[in-house]
């Protein structure tokens, strides 16, 4: 309050706003400042309201001797104190806070002196006078895998930080140790921090463990300990040659597994396609296998429920308890390494999957003819058959009659007619036909009809 001329009035300040100055490195002060205080050296300090680009001290008292009053023809010094958030956003080391005020920063009461018009000259704190310095006290893992495999490059990121996790960009410590709690690290576990950080992207573990962790050490800093993670066995080869030989209430399922174990899942369809890819839950679905492979053994099977029907090292299983009369089922197979329900298990997510129907009656046609059936198909070879193979079978009939033999796919669509209205004498008659490349691989059915009688026999075709 020392302008030109004497008006006999004090300056009565009701609000002070401090703005961002030149060289300020933080666009949003709410991400870095936890609090602000303004003091005049006499009265109780005022607590400010921090916004993204200013600090406001509002509602100041301006009576005689109070915080907001500057006596006539005298000066008053205000001191700003700020403190940082415990969890600031981003890197803060060596960055600056810069403040400024001008005439428009002060709101005054009309009963006292007033400022000249306009903002006037900015008063700046300087662009380098309030730099933040972070001094590291510990190592901190900022990147840890949730899982990895043995003999596979794995990435970890370690930083030198203060107690609140702020990185010290001036730190260049060298790791003195980087070891796993259980597994053995084969390579990739040495390095020196640069700008307070070190990325190790080629760490390889040689043994599989569940819930392992690593510890990093450097001189003068508290050890860094990673989050827990699983080190899995290597991913196994995928299952191939999945095949189903079906009957009215069971499937004989077989497959080829180059290594490790197999997990076989099945689902009764509700007329929709099926794709199962929930790797994390493969071993926790309905009907976890016991000694029985009855479909839905654990509970009544519902459409679209997925059941585990087999897990182990075999390459075939008989699935029983199916509903007959053209019920559609999907069987899906995955290979896995390790023990199920363990952290080291590893699935090959490339699935082998087949759809197949059950049919109305059993197909032991030699016996059925003795029981009064008129037709039969027997001795189908080879089974399964390859494309371009010659397929041999026996047509059986209890009396002379014209017969028709057709080939259908698993969806019940006619693929080819092998003969139509051909006369057969009573007894067993051999018959052969060629499979061509026009026939797709998968489950097929042979349908023999004559004089109102029908029999169906399965034929699996593979490439």
Please count the residues of the chain: 463
The pLDDT of 21-47, averaged and rounded, is 96
Q: Both tokens of residue 224?
A: 């860094």
138-232: CATH class: mainly beta
Higher pLDDT among residues 216 and 310, named by residue: 216
SS3 370: helix
φ and ψ of 360, to 5 deg = -65, -40
3-state helix, strand, coil in the chain (%, to 5): 5, 45, 50
In this predicted model, what pLDDT tens digit does every residue of 106-163 receive, in sequence order?
999 999 998 877 767 899 999 999 999 999 999 999 999 999 999 999 999 999 999 9
Residue ranges of the chain that CATH labels 2.60.40.10: 138-232, 240-357
Q: Would the pLDDT of 451 be above 90? A: no
**9: CB partners within 8 A, 6+ apart:** 1, 72, 111, 112, 113
Res. 384 pLDDT band, cuts 50 70 90: confident
Q: Give me 228's structure tokens.
A: 């827990």
Q: How far apart are CA 272 and CA 33, in angstroms?
A: 58
Alpha-carbon distances of 78 from 68, 69, 75, 168, rounded to whole Å? 10, 12, 10, 32
- 240-357 classified as CATH 2.60.40.10: yes
Architecture of domain 365-462: Sandwich (2.60)
Tell me the C-alpha distance between 199 and 211, whole Å. 22
- Of 326, 334, 318, the C-alpha closest to 280 is 334
> How do residues 49-105 score in pLDDT, each as one tens digit?
999 999 999 999 999 999 999 999 899 999 999 999 998 988 999 999 999 999 999
Confidence band of 302 (pLDDT split at 50, 70, 90): low
- State the pairing for strand pair 261-268/306-312: antiparallel
Across the range 438-454, mean pLDDT stands at 84
Burial (CB count within 10 angstroms: exposed 0-12, middle 13-18, buried 19+), residue 170: middle
């Amino acid at each position: 309050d020392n302008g030109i001329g004497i008006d006999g009035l004090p300056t009565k300040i009701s609000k002070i706003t401090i703005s961002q100055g030149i060289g300020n490195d933080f666009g949003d002060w709410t991400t870095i400042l936890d609090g602000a205080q303004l003091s005049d050296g006499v009265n109780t300090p005022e607590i400010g309201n921090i916004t993204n680009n200013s600090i406001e001290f509002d509602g100041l008292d301006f009576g005689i001797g109070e915080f907001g009053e500057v006596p006539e023809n005298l000066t008053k010094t205000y001191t700003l104190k700020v403190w940082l958030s415990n969890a600031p956003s981003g890197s803060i080391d060596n960055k600056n806070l810069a403040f400024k005020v001008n005439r428009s920063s002060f709101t005054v009461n009309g009963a006292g002196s007033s400022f000249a018009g306009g903002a006037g000259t900015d008063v700046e704190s300087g662009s380098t006078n309030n730099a933040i310095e972070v001094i590291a006290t510990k190592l901190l893992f900022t990147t840890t895998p949730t899982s990895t495999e043995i003999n596979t490059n794995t990435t970890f990121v370690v930083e030198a930080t203060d107690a609140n996790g702020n990185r010290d960009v001036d730190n260049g410590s060298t790791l003195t140790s980087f070891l796993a709690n259980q597994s053995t690290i084969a390579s990739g576990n040495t390095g020196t921090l640069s700008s307070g950080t070190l990325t190790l992207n080629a760490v390889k573990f040689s043994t599989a463990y569940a819930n392992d962790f690593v510890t990093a050490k450097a001189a003068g800093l508290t050890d860094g300990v990673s989050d827990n993670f699983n080190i899995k066995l290597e991913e196994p080869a995928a299952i191939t040659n999945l095949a189903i030989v079906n009957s009215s209430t069971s499937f004989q399922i077989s497959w080829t597994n180059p290594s490790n174990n197999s997990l076989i899942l099945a689902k009764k369809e509700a007329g929709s396609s099926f794709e199962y890819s929930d790797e994390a839950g493969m071993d926790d679905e309905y009907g976890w296998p016991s000694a029985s492979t009855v479909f839905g053994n654990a509970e009544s099977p519902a459409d679209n429920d997925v059941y585990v029907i087999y897990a182990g090292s075999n390459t075939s299983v008989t699935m029983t308890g199916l509903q007959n009369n053209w019920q559609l089922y999907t069987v899906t197979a995955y290979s896995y390494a390790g023990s199920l329900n363990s952290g080291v298990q590893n699935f090959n997510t490339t699935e082998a999957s087949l759809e197949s129907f059950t049919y109305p009656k059993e197909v032991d046609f030699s016996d059925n003819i003795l029981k009064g059936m008129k037709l039969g198909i027997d001795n189908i070879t080879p089974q399964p058959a390859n494309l371009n193979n010659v397929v041999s079978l026996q047509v059986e009939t209890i009396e002379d009659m014209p017969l028709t033999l057709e080939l259908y796919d698993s969806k019940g669509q006619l693929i080819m007619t092998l003969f139509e209205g051909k006369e057969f004498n009573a007894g067993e008659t051999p018959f052969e036909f060629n499979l061509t490349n026009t026939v797709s691989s998968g489950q097929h059915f042979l349908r023999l009809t004559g004089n109102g009688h029908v029999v169906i026999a399965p034929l699996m075709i593979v490439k």
